[in-house]
Structure 1
C-alpha cells in the first residue's frame, strides 16, 4: 500500500477523520465544528475545526494546525507513522463519516465495518422528507448566492433532517448514491452515502466542479445558451477527484472549474500533469475570486451598482 504524501494528508477532511475516530461535534455553526477535545478530558467543547480551511484549534491550550499536527499529537507518533495510518484510512471501503452522517437506511452497510465504533444515535443525520424548494429562508439564501429558483429547482430539493434530536430544513443536492449535500445560511454538511453527482448531457466533454453551488453558478451564467451544456461532474468533495479520473478520462476534454484555494489549485495542477491536452483549467474566468459562485455574486452586485449609477446620470 502506497503511503500518502504530507500534501495529500493535509487534504484529508478533518471532520470526517474525527468521526472515523469516534469524535463527534457538540455543535455546528456555519463552517465551524465544535468538539470536546480529543486531545484531553474536558466538559465544555473548546476544540474547533474550521471545515472550510480544514484546520483545528484547541482554545483551552492555545494549540492548533492541520491534520498532520493533530494526528501526530493524537496518535503520539511520527509524521511517517501517521502517513501510514492515513493510508490505511484512505484505503478503507468508501463510506463517508461526515458528521453527522449515517442515515438509518444504512444499517446493512455498517456491517462492512466490523470492529469500528458506531456513531452515537444523536450524531446521525436522518433525512426525514424532501420536496420542491419553498421555505422563505432558503429562497432568500439562494437569492443571496445569486442562484435563480428555476435553476435550483431543477437540481435541488428542500430537505428535512434530524440532527441531535432537532429538525432542520435545508437545501439538498442529491448525489449518485442517494445521499445529499445539505446547505443553508447556517449549516453545511451531508448525509450518507457520500458520492459524486454526474449530470449527463451526452456531450463529448465534461465540466468538473468541487461543490454544487459552483455547478449551479455555471448553469446560471449559461442559462441563456441554446446549445446544450457539457456533461457536469460535481465532486461534492475533493477526495473524489482522483477516484473520478477513470470517469473523466472517458471524455475528449475535461474543463476544470475547481475552487481557487490551495487544495483546488493543487488538484488542477495534478490534472494538467496527467494530460494538458485533455484537462483545461477554466478558473482564470474567476481568477480574483475563491470560486465561480463568489465571482457570480460580485459580478451581479457590480451590475446592479452600474445600473443604479446609470439611472442617476
Structure 2
C-alpha cells in the first residue's frame, strides 16, 4: 500500500474496522473516539478528512495513526492503515483526493464567564467539591480558574456549566458534568490552545517574568495540584499548561517566540509511553532551552495528581488501560527495625 492507496480509503470504513461507530448528524458522521459524553470527532461529508474538536486538529487518513496511534512517520502510518484494512481490501484508485479539513467553528458556544467561586453560602460549590475530591485546594486554585456557562452550538437552549482555564486562543479548557449522570469530563469551549501564566510579584506586576524559570504541565489537574502543594514565593515561576499531550506543538510555537531559558517538565507516565514521548518531542522542538524532567517526583504513578491523591488516601482509580498500580495495591514501605 502506498500513500495514494491509503488516501483512497474512506475514513468511515477505516474507523469501523477499528470498532468505532459513527453517529450521523446534519449529514456528517460524529465519533466518540475517547471517553467523552458528546462526540467531538467529525468526518467531512465526503468522509476523506477529519477534525477533532477536543484536540483542535484535523487531517486525512495518513494523519490519523500519527495523531492517535503514535505512528512516528508516514511509512509507519501506512503500515498501520494496511494492518487495519487487511490484505483482502480492494483499493479504489479512482476516488478523488481531498485536502485536510480546515478548523471548524467551536463545538460549543460560550454564554458567560465569571470568577471561580469556591463557596455558596459557606458550602463548597459543586465545582469546588470536584476539585477537593482530587486533592486540590479550591481557594488556592480559584485565581487561575473561571466559572463557565456554555451551550451546544446545535442547541443553544441546552445550557451547560463547568469551570476552566483560559487559553492563548481566547478559548477555555473546561471540566464539566456534561450529563447529570456522568462525572466531570474534559472539553473545550472556543479555540483550543495552551494556557500561559506569567510570573507576577506581590504587586501583581510582571516586569521581570522573562527571567524566571518555566514549569510545563501537561494537564490542568497536575498544574492545580502543584498550586495546591507548592509553597514557593509568589512570582517564582512562569507556567505553561498543555491540556493534553497533543498540544506540545502549540506550546513550542509560543515558547520559541521568547528568549530561551529554563523549563521543567511534569509529563505523564502513561503505560504506553505517550506522555514521556510528548515531553521528548517538545524538548526536540526547543533545542536552545535548558530542560528538566521532574517526573522522578512521582515515578510510581501516572502523574502528579495521582500521587497526591494516594498520599491523601483519596478514592481514585487509574484510567482503564493504565498498568500503573492502583492505590489499594501500593504498599508504603515498612520502617526498618532498629538494631539493638
TM score, norm. by length of structure 2: 0.54
Aligned length: 225
SS of residue in 2 equivalent to 1:266: helix
Whole-Å separation in 2 of the counterparts to 1:253 and 1:77? 52
Give yes or no for the alignment of 1:179 onto 2:179: no
Whole-Å separation in 2 of the counterparts to 1:176 and 1:289? 30
| Cα shift at 1:244 | 2.8
Mapping of residues 132-143 of structure 1, within 5 Å:
132-134=115-117, 136-143=125-132
**Cα distance change on mapping 1:70 and 1:131 into 2, 3 Å:** farther
| Cα shift at 1:156 | 0.7
SS of residue in 1 equivalent to 2:216: strand
| Partner residue of 1:150 out of 132, 136, 139 | 139
| Cα shift at 1:32 | 5.7
| Cα shift at 1:158 | 1.2
**Cα distance change on mapping 1:218 and 1:229 into 2, 3 Å:** farther
| Kept in 2: contact 1:29–1:186 (CA 8 A) | no
SS of residue in 2 equivalent to 1:241: helix
| Kept in 2: contact 1:271–1:279 (CA 8 A) | no
Offset from partner CA, 1:225-264 (integer Å, 9 cap, x none): 2253311111223333134325445332111112112221
* Mean CA deviation greater in 266-275 or 137-146: 266-275
| Cα shift at 1:291 | 1.4
Whole-Å separation in 2 of the counterparts to 1:22 and 1:207? 40
SS of residue in 1 equivalent to 2:313: helix
Structure 1 runs not aligned, ≥5 long: 4-13, 39-48, 53-64, 79-83, 103-123, 303-313
Offset from partner CA, 1:163-211 (integer Å, 9 cap, x none): 2442111112111221011103332210121111111111432111111
Mapping of residues 1-313 of structure 1, within 5 Å:
22-24=28-30, 31=36, 66=69, 89=100, 95=103, 102=106, 124-134=107-117, 136-163=125-152, 164=155, 165-184=157-176, 185-201=183-199, 202=209, 203-222=211-230, 224-226=231-233, 228-249=235-256, 250-261=259-270, 262-271=273-282, 275=287, 278-301=290-313
Offset from partner CA, 1:136-160 (integer Å, 9 cap, x none): 2211101101111222210111111
**Cα distance change on mapping 1:277 and 1:153 into 2, 3 Å:** closer
SS of residue in 2 equivalent to 1:225: coil
Whole-Å separation in 1 of the counterparts to 2:41 and 2:274? 27
The structure whose residues are more often helix, as a share, is 1
**Cα distance change on mapping 1:29 and 1:144 into 2, 3 Å:** farther
| Cα shift at 1:275 | 4.8
* Mean CA deviation greater in 144-153 or 265-274: 265-274
Alpha-carbon RMSD: 4.2
Whole-Å separation in 2 of the counterparts to 1:300 and 1:277? 35
| Kept in 1: contact 2:260–2:288 (CA 8 A) | no
Whole-Å separation in 2 of the counterparts to 1:301 and 1:175? 32
| Kept in 2: contact 1:126–1:161 (CA 8 A) | yes
SS of residue in 1 equivalent to 2:240: strand
SS of residue in 2 equivalent to 1:23: strand
Whole-Å separation in 1 of the counterparts to 2:291 and 2:135? 28
| Kept in 2: contact 1:23–1:35 (CA 8 A) | no
Whole-Å separation in 2 of the counterparts to 1:77 and 1:154? 57
